[in-house]
């Protein structure tokens, strides 16, 4: 199958594109995408986040830029910058009312997401992270087909249901020949502040079995953390200091 890849504009130069995928909603995909962005930014990389979850956009709120609006420049559009300089594009930054529902059908949504790639003046980026909508629908398919994706990160939780569906996402990535960088298990455990023990809130995880069966690696485990929820709700995720993902060289990706 010979697929025509989309081209970005002359003002955009992106070194690595990583899409973040999950089987279902609510597993923390947007939070994890944002944390990856913050981690990479803290390491000194130039980072952009493309919010491809058109019907459930949440990146602007997590970074506290949801009251800002992206402005046009000629036929193109400038992303909004966060406090630390992460560039963001999301449908929420374009609509008049942040809470207006987007009721478009699949192809229109997929087209919008394509424009977030082709018509946004991203400038020089080391990493563009894409927060995909959950599942294996139109948007993930379009993105995998038409963007130059370097790798996919899968977010899962210890719940069985999530794991079953997550296998579907991995199979889709494999079918589309996009490398899977690994799996992040979110809400993996709760570290009790009193007894200092790890509790498996969602039952015991058998992520090891899953990653072995799918021949992918485990990037990391993120605990259930009320502080993370608080910072996301307040739009202050850039202040979160606990997580450090192993990225870049570890995956054999060319960053420089």
Residues of this chain that interact with ligand ADP (CB under 6 A) are 22, 25-31, 58, 186-187, 222, 224-225, 228-229, 232
Instruction: Please identify which residue in the block is written with the tokens 């993120």.
Output: 222
Q: How many residues bind Mg ion (CB under 5 A)?
A: 2
Residue 92 touches which member of ligand ADP, Mg ion, none, C-beta under 5-8 Å by kind: none
Pick between residue 116 and residue 121 the one whose CB is nearest to ligand ADP.
116
Q: Compute the least distance from the CB of residue 22 to Mg ion, in Å.
A: 8
Pick between residue 210 and residue 231 the one whose CB is nearest to ligand ADP.
231
C-alpha R_g of the chain: 18
User: How many alpha carbons lie under 13 Å from residue 44 in its C-beta half-sphere?
Assistant: 2
Q: Compute the least distance from the CB of residue 224 to ligand ADP, in Å.
A: 4
Q: Compute the least distance from the CB of residue 12 to ligand ADP, in Å.
A: 25
Q: Smallest Cα–Cα separation from 142: which of 113, 169, 104?
A: 113
Within its chain, how far is the Cα of 116 from the centroid? 14
Q: Compute the least distance from the CB of residue 3 to Mg ion, in Å.
A: 26
Pick between residue 131 and residue 150 the one whose CB is nearest to Mg ion.
131
Q: Hey, which residues between 121 and 180 contact Mg ion (CB under 5 A)? A: none
Q: Hey, which residues between 45 and 104 contact Mg ion (CB under 5 A)? A: 58
Long-range contacts of residues 240-243, Cβ cutoff 8 Å, at least 24 apart = 240/35, 240/38, 243/35, 243/39
Residue 239 touches which member of ligand ADP, Mg ion, none, C-beta under 5-8 Å by kind: none
Residue 222 touches which member of ligand ADP, Mg ion, none, C-beta under 5-8 Å by kind: ligand ADP
Q: Compute the least distance from the CB of residue 160 to ligand ADP, in Å.
A: 17
DSSP-assigned letters across all residues of 10-74: TTEEEEEEEEEEESSTTSSHHHHHHHHHHHHHHTT--EEEEE--SSS--HHHHTT-TT----EET
Alpha carbon separation from 37 to 9, 51, 115, 229, 240 (Å, rounded): 22, 12, 21, 16, 12
Q: Compute the least distance from the CB of residue 153 to Mg ion, in Å.
A: 14
Using CB under 5 A, pick the residue from 12, 16, 22, 30 that binds Mg ion: 30
Residues 6+ apart with CB under 8 A from 208: 218
Residues of this chain that interact with Mg ion (CB under 5 A) are: 30, 58
């Amino acid at each position: 199958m010979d697929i025509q890849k989309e081209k970005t504009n002359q003002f955009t130069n992106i070194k690595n594109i990583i899409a973040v995928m999950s089987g279902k909603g609510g597993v923390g995909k947007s939070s994890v995408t944002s944390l990856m962005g913050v981690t990479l930014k803290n390491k000194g990389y130039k980072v952009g986040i493309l919010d491809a979850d058109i019907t459930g956009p949440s990146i602007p709120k997590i970074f506290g830029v949801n009251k800002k609006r992206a402005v046009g420049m000629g036929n193109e559009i400038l992303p909004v910058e966060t406090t630390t300089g992460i560039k963001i594009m999301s449908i929420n930054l374009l609509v008049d009312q942040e809470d207006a529902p987007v009721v478009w059908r699949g192809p229109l949504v997929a087209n919008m997401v394509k424009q977030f790639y082709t018509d946004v003046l991203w400038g020089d980026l080391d990493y563009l992270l894409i927060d995909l909508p959950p599942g294996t629908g139109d948007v993930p398919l379009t993105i995998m087909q038409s963007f130059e994706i370097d790798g996919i990160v899968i977010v899962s939780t210890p719940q069985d249901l999530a794991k079953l569906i997550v296998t579907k996402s991995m199979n889709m990535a494999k079918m589309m020949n996009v490398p899977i960088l690994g799996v992040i298990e979110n809400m993996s455990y709760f570290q009790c502040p009193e007894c200092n023990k790890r509790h498996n809130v969602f039952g015991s995880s058998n992520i090891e079995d899953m990653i072995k069966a799918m021949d992918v690696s485990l990037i990391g485990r993120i605990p259930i953390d009320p502080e993370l929820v608080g910072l996301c709700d307040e739009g202050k995720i850039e202040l979160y200091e606990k997580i450090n993902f192993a990225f870049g060289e570890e995956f054999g990706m060319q960053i420089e």
